[in-house]
Structure 1
Amino acid sequence: MLKYTAKRLVQSLITLFIIITIVFSLMRLMPVEGYFQNFDKLDKNQIHTALQSMGLLDPLPIQLKNFYLQILHGSLGNSMIYRPNVPVMEIIGSKAPVSIFMGLASMAIALLLGLPLGTAMARGKSGFWDKFGTAFIVFITAVPAAVYYLLVQLYFTDWFGLPILFSAANPVSWVLPTVSLSLGNIAYYAMWLRRYMVDELNKDYIRLARAKGVDSKSIMKNHVFRNAFVPMVQYLPTSLLYTIAGSIYIESLYSVPGMGGLLVNVIQRQDNNMVQALVLIYSAVGIVGLLLGDVLMNLMDPRISFVKKGGAR
């Protein structure tokens, strides 16, 4: 296990290195306006001098080396337009707590509703809950997320008298964006748990347990659910980290001052340093999520081996 974790950690670092290199190189192709607050008021000599002072006229390998040294010192540079000369990490640090709290709350809702729904669908195939869950999953899967987010915002504010926009000072205003953020994961968890549980129910050891007189409730709880949940564990860290990082659309829709809305804002303002930093953070989140997923799945079921022949990845 330790050997595999170390191997995956090295692979993750290499992948992150490649992503940083590509993103950094692509950002150097962006217009230089993204490095100036008052670009239109500057002449060519002023622009050239400023770019030179920022090291943006150095050869790309030198710029990349300096950027990696900057990262090792815990810095992602300063914002140029969104909040001029303010460190990127300071800006993100003020936005991250909102996204983290909302993300954790939405994940809790998704687990509390998605797992029981998937279990009920598997236990009563073709029954009410199976039909209800299937209809919900098809709706969430087939309809663009932007559409049902708007439907939630439009009708729930009217039916339940909930605020249409977010306010950190008003706890009730957290409800709609949090619920909206959980819908996709509810459908995802219910769909895959049902599939895994139905697959387990058709295996020989379940038939043997039933033949021996083991009651259905015990079979579902101690065997079917437990074994079906193991492969799902692999995807929980990734979905959790992405949710915590913030939903770009939802945070913009409800004016939530989190990381997702921040990314939209800095792209619109063409703040190149901020865009670069946020893209790298989202990339790192995805890589860490995949690594934690494999480790967590092995901890849940020690029989799974990623290093032995037949179980390698």
Structure 2
Amino acid sequence: MKVDQNDLIIDDKVEKIFEDINLDEEIKVLKKNRFEKFFYFFKREGNNLREFMGKSPLISYSLKRILYAFITLYIAISIIFIMLSVVTTDSAYLSDVNLEKLNIEFGSEQYYRLLDNKKKLYGAYGSVFQQLFIYLRNITPFIPKEIIKDPKIVGTEVVGEKSTVWFYLGAFMNKATGGVPGTPVLDAFKKSIPTSFAVGSIAVVLSYLFGVPLGILAAKHKDKTTDSAINGTSLIITAIPALVLISLLYKMSIYVFGANGTYEGSNFETKIWPVIGVMLLIMPFIVVNTRRYVVDEMTSDYTKFAISKGLSSRYVFYVHIFRNASIRLVKTLPEVFIITLFGSSILVERHWSIDGMSKFILNGVSNKDTYVVLGYIYISAAAGVFSSLLGDLFLAIMDPRIKLTK
């Protein structure tokens, strides 16, 4: 029997097709098994994570607060970044460049090549949304970023030592802001934060040392002359605009008490006045809150019940009332400190020429230095997130009535 060669070729092709079909089926089975393994792994780890979080309510609460807060922060940073990008002109990126010295004409090909290289240095190339993505990536930790340290202009090129960093707030664009153009904003912040911290922390501690006793005194003499004097004075100080209050204090310290006008290199008689200035801005808040918390506890049912049982007023006040009120005061301590460091101290540092953080936000806004303003907002907001969380955890730890479980 003669076998047709064409039939053999067809049979081989059919057999190969069936082999391919079987191979595809085997691949599908392997992929399905692999998917089921991954699904089972993630399901198991997810259950373990939920079980761990259920057993550790403090950690669970903290992580959720941080996650939600930073999502909100990134949205706010994105909106501010887009707004600043719209008003930032090309000249802002070349504010430190002497075009005449480089022999570059405005609007020439060399000019635009230099402008593009400067924008790349700042991560401001591409569309607004590309720039936003680059900036959000830079401020996100745990992602390595390559930057140029101490950049120099050679012709139309920007050269310098390349370095890898994990967290990058951008670079200075204008010398008038308080830093060398092209240098990292974070490096300048690191030098100025300790100064603001020193003035702010002393002011916060003294504000609580004087404000809490005054608030307690006002609460114990509620609706009497002492209460009216303390509470009224606090409200009057609060009602005066901060700029007017600090300006009056600054002039009084110089013309009445003979203090110096600058903080650096001065003696104690001068350095105490900025601290007093910060205290005037935050201590009325502490006095009013202390009075309110103590009055709330004094008028509560458990206080009335304790007094009706024959316990002394002194015992009830210091063992029950003040202890419960102090828990709520401790909660406000981290937030007050951050507000002082990045908010209340701005006017004080400006008047006494203190080399703190305030110069960056003031000069950054006036000189349209985008990354300085964004960096200040990011650092202050991130510090506010952790201070608020810390206050909540203090409250949960100190007050047995607060439970973070369901």
Amino acid at match of 2:251: L
Quote the residue 1:311 is aligned against: none
The question of whether the paired residues in 2 share the 8 Å contact of 1:167 and 1:173 is answered with no
CA distance in structure 2 between the aligned counterparts of 1:48 and 1:306, rounded to whole angstroms? 57
The question of whether the paired residues in 1 share the 8 Å contact of 2:171 and 2:184 is answered with yes
**The 10-residue stretch of structure 1 (257-266 or 111-120) with the greater mean CA deviation from structure 2:** 257-266
2:171 to 74, 78, 87: 78
Calculate the aligned-residue CA RMSD, in Å: 2.2
**Unaligned runs of at least 5 residues, structure 1:** 309-313
By how many angstroms is 1:275 displaced?
1.9
By how many angstroms is 1:235 displaced?
2.5
By how many angstroms is 1:168 displaced?
4.5
By how many angstroms is 1:40 displaced?
8.5
Quote the residue 2:95 is aligned against: 37
Runs of 4+ deviating beyond 4 Å? 38-42
Which string of whole-angstrom CA distances, capped at 9 and with x for unpartnered residues, describes residues 243-285 of structure 1? Answer: 1236222111111110012221222233222122112222222
The question of whether the paired residues in 1 share the 8 Å contact of 2:263 and 2:352 is answered with yes
Quote the residue 2:153 is aligned against: none
Which string of whole-angstrom CA distances, capped at 9 and with x for unpartnered residues, describes residues 21-40 of structure 1? Answer: 22222221122233222478
CA distance in structure 2 between the aligned counterparts of 1:36 and 1:304, rounded to whole angstroms? 55
Q: Does 1:143 align with 2:240?
A: yes
Quote the residue 1:216 is aligned against: 313
Quote the residue 1:271 is aligned against: 369
1:68 to 136, 148, 153: 136
CA distance in structure 1 between the aligned counterparts of 2:259 and 2:232, rounded to whole angstroms? 26
Q: Does 1:305 align with 2:403?
A: yes
Quote the residue 1:8 is aligned against: 65
Q: Secondary structure at the match of 2:259?
A: coil
Amino acid at match of 2:106: D
CA distance in structure 1 between the aligned counterparts of 2:267 and 2:65, rounded to whole angstroms? 43
CA distance in structure 2 between the aligned counterparts of 1:74 and 1:164, rounded to whole angstroms? 37
Structure-2 change in CA distance of 1:221 and 1:266 (3 Å):
same
Q: Secondary structure at the match of 2:170?
A: coil
Q: Does 1:291 align with 2:354?
A: no
Which string of whole-angstrom CA distances, capped at 9 and with x for unpartnered residues, describes residues 63-92 of structure 1? Answer: 223223322321112212122122111111
**The 10-residue stretch of structure 1 (140-149 or 241-250) with the greater mean CA deviation from structure 2:** 241-250
Work out which of the two has the higher radius of gyration on C-alpha atoms and give 1 or 2: 2
Quote the residue 2:29 is aligned against: none
Q: Secondary structure at the match of 2:260?
A: coil
CA distance in structure 2 between the aligned counterparts of 1:242 and 1:101, rounded to whole angstroms? 14
**The 10-residue stretch of structure 1 (195-204 or 288-297) with the greater mean CA deviation from structure 2:** 288-297
Quote the residue 1:259 is aligned against: 357
Q: Secondary structure at the match of 1:121?
A: helix
Which string of whole-angstrom CA distances, capped at 9 and with x for unpartnered residues, describes residues 103-143 of structure 1? Answer: 10110111011101100001112344312211211212211
The question of whether the paired residues in 1 share the 8 Å contact of 2:138 and 2:168 is answered with yes
Which string of whole-angstrom CA distances, capped at 9 and with x for unpartnered residues, describes residues 180-229 of structure 1? Answer: 11112211111011112112111221122222222222221111111122
2:253 to 156, 167, 175: 156
Structure-2 change in CA distance of 1:169 and 1:148 (3 Å):
closer
**The 10-residue stretch of structure 1 (168-177 or 197-206) with the greater mean CA deviation from structure 2:** 168-177
Structure-2 change in CA distance of 1:118 and 1:60 (3 Å):
same
Structure-2 change in CA distance of 1:153 and 1:193 (3 Å):
same
**The 10-residue stretch of structure 1 (86-95 or 50-59) with the greater mean CA deviation from structure 2:** 50-59
Q: Does 1:243 align with 2:340?
A: yes
Q: Secondary structure at the match of 1:28?
A: helix
CA distance in structure 2 between the aligned counterparts of 1:34 and 1:174, rounded to whole angstroms? 37
Count of equivalent residues: 308
The question of whether the paired residues in 1 share the 8 Å contact of 2:360 and 2:373 is answered with no
Q: 1:111-150 alignment to 2 at 5 Å?
A: 111-150=208-247
CA distance in structure 2 between the aligned counterparts of 1:292 and 1:275, rounded to whole angstroms? 26
CA distance in structure 1 between the aligned counterparts of 2:237 and 2:251, rounded to whole angstroms? 17
The question of whether the paired residues in 2 share the 8 Å contact of 1:180 and 1:250 is answered with yes
Q: Secondary structure at the match of 1:304?
A: coil
CA distance in structure 1 between the aligned counterparts of 2:171 and 2:208, rounded to whole angstroms? 38
CA distance in structure 2 between the aligned counterparts of 1:209 and 1:159, rounded to whole angstroms? 52
Amino acid at match of 1:170: N
2:116 to 52, 59, 75: 52
CA distance in structure 2 between the aligned counterparts of 1:68 and 1:24, rounded to whole angstroms? 10
Q: Secondary structure at the match of 1:258?
A: coil
**The 10-residue stretch of structure 1 (107-116 or 242-251) with the greater mean CA deviation from structure 2:** 242-251
By how many angstroms is 1:151 displaced?
2.0
The question of whether the paired residues in 2 share the 8 Å contact of 1:35 and 1:273 is answered with no
CA distance in structure 2 between the aligned counterparts of 1:44 and 1:239, rounded to whole angstroms? 50
CA distance in structure 2 between the aligned counterparts of 1:299 and 1:146, rounded to whole angstroms? 39
**The 10-residue stretch of structure 1 (160-169 or 207-216) with the greater mean CA deviation from structure 2:** 160-169
Structure-2 change in CA distance of 1:21 and 1:202 (3 Å):
same
**The 10-residue stretch of structure 1 (199-208 or 36-45) with the greater mean CA deviation from structure 2:** 36-45
